[in-house]
Amino acid sequence: MRYHRCNRKNLRLRGYDYSRNGFYFVTICTKGMCDFFGAVRNGVMGLNELGCAVVRFWNQIPVHFTDVVLDEWVVMPNHVHGVVVINKPDVLEGARHEKTGVGARHEKTGVGARHEKTGVGARHGASLHVNRFGPLNPQSLSCIINHFKGAVTRNIHKNYDPHFS
């Protein structure tokens, strides 16, 4: 049974500042839920070239957003799940992101304080190619995801499939 997008609820909190420090669960889907990134065979996800490109660009997010750490993530045939951690030191001086209970490893910076988990759990499944809500807030979750999606799309258009969306 396929899961229909129209049955999903928007889990974004109205008025919440998604540039705040926190752990954000993100789901990014392909247009039309098409299987662009590979296939699952015998319970194992096999990435194709497009899926490998997604992995490369996902891993580059912290290079472009220095206050971001990536926790657990997975690329599936038609979507990406990941936990994006925004950890700005100006909010929590000397912050240190510790190993999580799910086995993720991260670099530790500073000494002392630990970054505390917020109870947000937001999903970001909406398309960002049309910005209906005004300018993107730099270093916000929407800016991070917009940058990632744009980089992936430009790379796939240039190197693999000019009709990808």
The parts of the chain modelled with pLDDT lower than 50 are 92-95, 97-130
Q: Which of 80, 85, 84 is nearest to 27 (CA)?
A: 80
Q: How far apart are CA 117 and CA 155, in angstroms?
A: 33
Burial letters 93-125, b for 16+ CB under 10 A, else e = eebbbeeeeeebebeeeeeeeebeeeebebbbb
pLDDT score of 153: 94
Q: How far apart are CA 111 and CA 93, in angstroms?
A: 9
DSSP characters over 33-76 = G---SEEEETTEEEE-HHHHHHHHHHHTHHHH-TTEEEEEEEE-
Q: Can you give the residue ranges of every domain in the chain?
A: 25-159
pLDDT score of 8: 61
Encoded tokens for 130: 């049309």
pLDDT score of 103: 40
Q: In the structure, how many helices (H) and strands (E) does the chain have? A: 3, 5
99-119 pLDDT, tens digit per residue, is: 444 444 333 333 333 444 444
Q: Which of 77, 79, 159 is nearest to 127 (CA)?
A: 79
pLDDT score of 7: 60
Q: How many other CB atoms are there within 10 angstroms of residue 90's CB atom?
A: 8
127-147 pLDDT, tens digit per residue, is: 444 455 567 788 899 999 999
Q: How far apart are CA 112 and CA 118, in angstroms?
A: 19
Q: How far apart are CA 27 and CA 64, in angstroms?
A: 20
Single-letter amino acid code for the residue at 77: P
pLDDT score of 120: 46
pLDDT score of 161: 85
Q: How far apart are CA 165 and CA 154, in angstroms?
A: 10
